[in-house]
Amino acid sequence: MADKSGAYGSKASDTDFRKTWDKEEYAERAKKKDQEEKERMQENEERMKQGKRPRKGRRDDLPKPTELMKQREGPLELEKNLGKTMVVQNLSGKGPGQPGFHCETCNRTYKDSVGYLDHINSRAHLRALGQTTKLERSTLAQVQARIAYLREKTKEASSAKAFDFKQRLAEVKAKEVALREQRKAVKRIEKEKARLELIKDTGMNEDGDMAQLMGFGGFGSSKK
C-alpha cells in the first residue's frame, strides 16, 4: 500500500477513534483553576491571621439568604418506595434517577434516608434554598389562632366521623339487601332452568326432536 488509506479506502489512521483533546482549552482551564486556588490560599492566609477557620472548598457565589428557616411543606415520604424494585434509569453516576435520595436543589444523591435528612437540615442546603439558620418566633396571637383553628377542626372531624358512621350503616344495609336480591335472582333462574329441563324431558318423550327443534312444546297434548 503506497498511500496510507485503509482496506476500504478510508483515510482514518489506527488511533482516530480516540478522543482528541483541545489542548488550548484545557490549558486555559488549568490556569484558571490554579488562579482560583491561589486566591483561596491567599484568602485562607488572611483568615488564619484573623483566627478564623480556613475555607475548604470553592466559594459559591450564592446570594445572601433572605428568608428565615422554614418548616418543610408537605411530608417527605421517605418510605414511599420502601420494598419496591426500581429500575435505575441513570447510569452516569451523577444526577437524579440514581438509587437513593436525591436533593434537586443541591443536585446530590444520598444512599439512605439518614444521610438525606442530615443534608436537608444542613446549613449548606438551607443556604442553597436562600434561608438563614434563624427561626421565626411565633407570637402569642399566632399561637392562640392556631389553637382556635385546630379546636374547630377537631370538632368538625369528630362530627364528620359520626355522620360517616350513620352513612356507613346505611351502606352496609343497602349492600345486604342487594346481596339478598341477587341470591333470590340466582335461585329464580335455577328454578326456571329446572322447569325448562322438566319440560324438555317430557317433550322429548312425547313429541320427539322435531317439535323441540321447531321451538314449540307439542300440540297441546303435553302437560306442564
Partner 1 sequence: MANTTVIGALAIHGQNPQFLVETVIRNRIYESNYWKEHCFALTAESLIDKAIEMRYIGGVYGNQRPTQFLCLVLKLLQIQPEKEILVEYLRADEFKYLRALAAFYIRMTFRAVDVYELLEPLLKDYGKLRLRDMSGYSLTYMDEFVYSLLTEERVCDIILPRLAKRQVLEENGDIGPRKSRLLDALEEVSVLPGEKAEGGVPFGAVERHRMLDPDMCQGVVRDRGLVQDLLSVHAVVASRPTGWK
Query: What residues line the site for Zn ion (CB under 5 A)?
Result: 103, 105-106, 125
C-alpha cell, 147: 389553637
- CB nearer Zn ion, residue 54 or residue 130: 130
- CB nearer partner 1, residue 112 or residue 190: 112
- Residue 36, C-beta contacts closer than 8 angstroms, at least 6 positions apart: 58
Contacting partner 1 (CB under 8 A), which of 49, 72, 161, 223? 72
Number of residues counted as binding partner 1 (CB under 8 A): 28
Regarding 114 and contact with partner 1 (CB under 8 A), the answer is: yes
Give residue 83's identity as a one-letter amino acid code: G
Binding range to partner 1, per CB under 8 A, among 19-27, 50-58, 85-93, 119-127? 119-127
- How does DSSP assign 176-206, residue by residue? HHHHHHHHHHHHHHHHHHHHHHHHHHHHHHH
* Gap between the Cα atoms of 54 and 131, Å rounded: 23
Binding range to partner 1, per CB under 8 A, among 39-47, 98-106, 133-141, 166-174? 133-141
Contacting partner 1 (CB under 8 A), which of 13, 50, 89, 138? 138
Q: Check the CA dihedral 10-12-15-20 and report its sign.
A: negative
Out of partner 1, Zn ion, none, what residue 37 binds, judged by CB under 5 to 8 A for its kind, is none
Q: Which residue's C-alpha cell is 340466582? A: 186
Whether the Cβ atoms of residue 131 and residue 67 lie closer than 8 Å to each other:
yes
Residues binding partner 1 (CB under 8 A): 69-72, 76, 78, 113-114, 117-118, 121-123, 133-138, 140, 142-144, 146-147, 150-151, 154
